[in-house]
Amino acid sequence: MNAELLQAALEKAGNINTLINVVSRRVRQLSANGGGITRPMVADTANLGMADIALREIIEGKIGWDMPTADEWSAPVKRKRSRKAGAKVPRSPMLPAISAVAA
């Protein structure tokens, strides 16, 4: 991961925890197969890793995120009890939701 890109993206995000969550989600999207959301939204991605591509997208304003409000993250999450192995757990509302920004 490029330190210069990381510093520039941190200035945009303002919070290291938010930046880590957004970059990790975007890297998962980029590494997924097929679909338009998995293609990089920046030009010249030669010799860049997926994390660097995600950082460049943040720096250039290609992706954004919405932070949950205090009401959303303080409300209890209803979970259905399941005894099955490997049951899915709902996504935490505290994680930022990322989205593509229209240019």
Q: What is the pLDDT of residue 69?
A: 76
52 band by pLDDT with thresholds 50, 70 and 90: very high
Q: What is the mean pLDDT of the chain?
A: 80
pLDDT exceeds 60 at position 66: yes
Angular region, 40: left φ>0, alpha ψ -120 to 50, beta rest: beta
68/95 Cα distance (integer angstroms) = 8
Q: Are 50 and 30 in contact (CB under 8 A)?
A: yes
Phi, psi values for residue 46, rounded to 5°: -65, 140
Mean pLDDT of 42-47: 88
74/21 Cα distance (integer angstroms) = 19
Structural domains of the chain ordered from first start: 3-77+88-100 (3.90.940)
Mean pLDDT of 18-28: 92
pLDDT exceeds 90 at position 75: no
- Whether this prediction's pTM lies above 0.85 is answered by no
Buried b (16+ CB within 10 A) or exposed e, 37-58: eeebbbeeeeebebbbbbbbbb
91/45 Cα distance (integer angstroms) = 31
Q: What is the pLDDT of residue 85?
A: 60
